[in-house]
Amino acid sequence: MMGMRWTNWLGFAMLAFFLLIHEPIWLLLGFGATGSDNPEFDSTKILWAIPVVAYVIVAAVLIIRGAPDSDKS
């Protein structure tokens, strides 16, 4: 764990932050309560999914990106 690159930590922090704020993003995407018990999808807000998916992909790539730096001594 100590051999992780800073980019791995950044990706981990991005995903942790996303987990903390997922509810407002979920509402922004249009999955909010519409007054009834079952949530309905608002298709006019689907374009917000593009930056959300891109954010998650970037965070995952940063985590997966590579092994720790090799020892060059």
In a domain, 10, yes or no: yes
Amino acid, res. 64: I
Predicted local confidence at residue 6, as pLDDT: 84
Predicted local confidence at residue 63, as pLDDT: 85
Burial of 18 (0-12, 13-18, 19+ CB in 10 A): middle
**Is 57 strand, coil or helix?**
helix
Using an 8 Å Cβ cutoff, are 48 and 28 in contact?
yes
Predicted local confidence at residue 50, as pLDDT: 81
In a domain, 72, yes or no: no
Instruction: Summarize the confidence of residues 49-71 as an average pLDDT.
Output: 79
Q: pLDDT tens digits, residue range 11-58?
A: 889 989 988 887 777 777 766 655 555 556 666 677 777 888 899 999
State the helix-helix crossing angle for 6-20 and 49-64, rounded to 10 degrees.
140
Q: Which domain holds residue 34?
A: 6-64
In a domain, 73, yes or no: no
Q: How many domains does the chain have?
A: 1
In a domain, 21, yes or no: yes
In a domain, 1, yes or no: no
In a domain, 33, yes or no: yes
Predicted local confidence at residue 32, as pLDDT: 61
